[in-house]
Amino acid sequence: MGSSVEYRQHMDECLRAAAKASSEEERNSLLQLAQTWHEAATNLEASNGLASHDGERAGHPAGAGTVNSCDERRRDVAEQILTLRVSPVRGL
């Protein structure tokens, strides 16, 4: 099993690829996969009793502002997915 940091890296890769997708079907598949990685990271953190690893990644001590970081990250991901879902596919 990977770490939530790894899962979020996979999510970020999917979001970047979705932004460059050549078809709506490809973009929607990548967005769904990004959402799945995000949920896996969130579930792993919850099962470990952690709000988020975002604070640690940003160079903050473990536990410092993690709840706010997690909430902000969820909002950011939701906004990215929504923006990509409603924007036109490049090249079409």
Question: For position 22, what pLDDT does the model report?
Answer: 94
Question: For position 91, what pLDDT does the model report?
Answer: 58
Tens of pLDDT, residue by residue, the chain (92 residues): 789 999 999 999 999 999 999 999 999 999 999 999 999 999 998 988 865 444 444 343 444 445 556 667 767 777 777 677 666 666 55
Question: For position 69, what pLDDT does the model report?
Answer: 65
CB-based contact 1:13 (threshold 8 Å) = no
What residue segments make up the domains of the chain, in order of their start?
4-86
Q: What is the pTM of this model?
A: 0.63
CA 36, CA 75: separation in Å to the nearest integer? 15
